[in-house]
Structure 1
């Protein structure tokens, strides 16, 4: 037999092993989900707009859905009830951090939200020896992690706040009636003073604008991934140990059964409303909840309103050239956070 053919067949053995294991193993009663192909699972159904794709799949398969990527099981919660089950009822069992197999090769004690890119053994555990990260890559990533660890908290507190502020300013430019209402409130409560943190408690329409922005554009559309610490029952389905858990807050915030006219920027829906974003109401939980709630929440809930109020109160804003507000590109770009695909460009003019 040709040596090349022999080695090619040898490399196929792990794939055949995984295929037959997938067919003959007794799978637990997982949440429903789309058909998963042997070996590859649901990889080919995914894309760049993952939050939107998962929202569309949830409309077909239900608020608690399962997907397979290789032999990695991923569970997605896409309703307030499902989010409550994950973030509160079963918080203890589902509060592990999901860490890719590439990370322990660099630092076995590393347990942060981001450390390395996924490798193939994240999805096919039986291939870990073949897919092992090479020594050079591990050394490069290890040196980068020393820098990243020092910046994680700083980036999380500034990058997400700036993104939310940018989305809010874009919506205010598109909805001039909302902008004028907000400016009237600032003028009435603050007058000619500079905006201070002490003013925020007296600006309910400003708070409503921030809540509405977070509803439409949560900085982490899928929150941070969790891991099942042990097998548990959720909403009548089995969540196997080591499953990856995602909560699609983007889908929940745009669900027409929860919010009337959900695609419209309408801060009034939050006036005289008990809905907050502090992790107690699962229809509006952009910072997560439970043991893994975002530690930057207290900072963001002060920082974003203060910045937004200062920008609106101190400046008039204009679009460049002859551009109209209806022409603003509101498409998003999803990596881990939700950014505007086209950065917002505005011209400020100081107000007297």
Structure 2
């Protein structure tokens, strides 16, 4: 980048920061005038037994408490104030849950009251909050979309019928790693896992690869990560509603651009398919896109092309980003703990055969591999605060009242590292799950990386199948070491926060055929 371009970029950034500072100062002045009346009104209608929490500052409340890694900051606050705390984030009352007992009350006992979401302003880009399954309120459209997911994408029957596609893509991953090993190259584990996951999804939906080993997946991966980052980052417009029209941090505008890039890809693929279907005697692809276009044309359900594109946006962004990120965390933990890697490999070599192909049917007889995936998800849940929920009525939880309209966050990251629940909570110990009945399906609330209740992640079954298949295949076919200069002791295990948590530094490793 030229010096002129760098200077221009810095100038634009400073201009944005100055604009934001001006708007926020004006808003503070306005807020100071109405703060007293706001507090009086809120105290009149708020229950008296609200959860404890840190004292809020005037107007901005507890926003400064969040920091750059909110899941960690909120876990520290829970250590001080208890497993249910109340924060004022600007003008938004937020309750944070950090224990499995209270998480069960939210996700199971009072599931109907907390089934709807508070919607980040970024998600309103392209009206995604009205058409995306994770965000829309429980309604006839929600039930229709969930039925479509279960019928055409994520049911056990559907996953069984297309497992050959996932197997093929994982074998291509193994072949790619083998080629890299022969050439003495260093593998970017996260990028390779992303490409495999994305192509597995795109073959299921479109009968094609959206990227291949000869084409860098970095650009598409970056778009999807940026979507997750924009949706997950603290946005001042979410806490001061009057600022939504201004979008002072440009979060919504950037999200609109990222969404547009994804919709352009989907538009092109849908257009090609419609042209193919219009040709006389053309063969059908018998994939998800064909099935959904049949539904649209038959008008058998309330589905149109616009909704299909939003469905694909959620399916691809959430499915590829969270799964590949978790695989990267798993490989990072195993490389950092060589004795755990050796034990996982020994199990695979004995039960499957060194270097032999693993199938999804093998997963049930690989307890240490299953334990490794669970332990990774305990330490590194893909969405550490889950997706926000909204209280539809005053509700008693843990002896405190969560007021109507409050945003509710469940800190799955804090629950997974609670020393009252887990021995040596910050250590990677897959053995803790051997002989344990704890699973990932949202019924054991000490381990809820996919949430629970009626809003549990619909991609749970697909994600766990892909994680076990990719991880098992990589460690059964290869021995691994970190790139030169990196040791288990100095390996960077820090994370960066979006709506999902990625590694701050990618895992790069050298593979040697087993």
TM-score (norm 1): 0.88
Aligned counterparts of 1:221 and 1:105: Cα–Cα separation in 2: 23
Q: Who is 1:173 aligned against?
A: 335
In terms of mean alpha carbon deviation, does 233-242 or 336-345 score higher? 233-242
Q: Answer yes or no: is the 8 Å Cα contact 1:36–1:42 preserved in 2.
A: yes
Q: What is the Cα deviation at residue 138 of structure 1?
A: 7.5
Q: State the partner residue of 1:157.
A: 319
Alignment of 1:76-115 (within 5 A): 76-101=96-121, 107=127, 109-111=130-132, 112-113=134-135
Partner of 1:19: 36
2:130 aligned counterpart, secondary structure: coil
Residues 105, 133 of structure 1: CA spacing in aligned structure 2 closer, same or farther, 3 A cutoff? Answer: farther
1:124 Cα deviation from its structure 2 partner: 3.0
Structure 1 residue aligned with 2:60, among 34, 40, 53? 40
Seen in structure 2, the aligned counterparts of structure 1 residues 145 and 175 have a Cα distance that, compared at 3 Å, is: closer
Q: Give a deviation string over 1:106-151, Cα, whole Å, max 9, x none.
A: 53734555797676553234xx2x65247x9978865754536332
* Equivalent residues of 2:115, 2:455 under 8 A apart: yes
Q: Is the 8 A contact 1:30 1:239 kept in 2?
A: yes
Instruction: Assess, with a 3 A threshold, how the Cα gap between structure 1 residues 35 and 273 changes in structure 2: closer, same or farther.
Output: same
Deviates more, 1:307-316 or 1:109-118: 109-118
Contact (CA 8 Å) 1:185, 1:205: kept in 2 or not? yes
CA distance in 2, matches of 1:260, 1:137: 40
Q: Which residue of 1 aligns with 2:408?
A: 245
Are 2:359 and 1:196 aligned? Answer: yes
Aligned mates of 1:142, 1:183 — CA distance in 2? 44
Q: What residue in structure 1 maps to residue 172 of structure 2? A: none
- The 5-angstrom pairing of residues 1-20 of structure 1 reads 12-20=29-37
Q: Is the 8 A contact 2:115 2:389 kept in 1?
A: yes
Equivalent in the alignment of 1:304: 467
**What is the total number of aligned residue pairs between the two structures?**
340
CA distance in 1, matches of 2:389, 2:399: 20
CA distance in 1, matches of 2:27, 2:89: 23
Shift of 1:32: 0.7
Q: Provide the rounded CA distance (Å) in 2 between the counterparts of 1:232 and 1:110.
A: 28
Tell which has more relative contact order, 1 or 2 (C-alpha 8 A, sep 6+). 2
1:187 is aligned to 349
* RMSD, aligned CA: 2.6
Q: Partners in 2 of 1:235 and 1:11 — Cα distance?
A: 35
CA deviations on 1:37-84 (whole Å, 9 max, x unpaired) are 121100122201111110010011110111001110111100111111
In the alignment, which residue of structure 1 is the partner of 2:513?
350
Matches of 2:251 and 2:499, distance apart in 1: 22
Deviates more, 1:80-89 or 1:227-236: 227-236
Shift of 1:18: 3.1
What residue is the counterpart of 1:5 in the other structure?
none
Partner of 1:71: 91
Which of 429, 434, 443 in structure 2 is aligned with 1:266? 429
When residues 56 and 21 of structure 1 are mapped into structure 2, their CA distance, relative to the original with a 3 A threshold, is: same
Deviations 1:82-103 (A, max 9, x none): 1111111111001111113565
1:327: which partner in 2?
490
Counterpart in the other structure of 1:122: 238
Equivalent residue in structure 1 for 2:245, among 110, 114, 132: 132
* Cα contact 1:105–1:133 (8 A) shared by 2: no
| Unaligned residue ranges in structure 2 (runs of 5+) | 1-24, 136-226, 264-309
SS at match of 2:378: helix
Distance 1:332 1:144, change over 3 A: closer
Q: Is the 8 A contact 1:278 1:285 kept in 2?
A: yes
1:338 is the counterpart of 2:358: no
Cα distance change on mapping 1:123 and 1:10 into 2, 3 Å? closer
* Maintained 8 Å contact 2:51/2:85: yes
Greater shift after overlay, 229-238 or 97-106? 97-106
Would you say the 8 A contact 1:206–1:309 is kept in 2?
yes
Q: Deviations over 1:222-253 (max 9, x none)?
A: 11111112222222222122211111111111
Taking the aligned partners of 2:382 and 2:366, their CA distance within structure 1 comes to 23
Q: Which residue of 1 aligns with 2:153?
A: none
User: Relative to total residues, which structure has the larger helix share, 1 or 2?
Assistant: 2
Question: Does the 8 Å contact 1:205/1:271 carry over to 2?
Answer: yes
More moved, 212-221 vs 103-112 = 103-112
2:447 to 284, 288, 291: 284
Matching of residue 224 in structure 1 with residue 340 in structure 2 = no
Give 3-state SS (helix, strand or coil) of 1:327's partner: coil
Gaps of 5+ in 1: 1-7
Change (3 A) 1:20 1:302: same
Confirm or deny: 8 A CA contact 2:122 2:255 kept in the other structure.
no
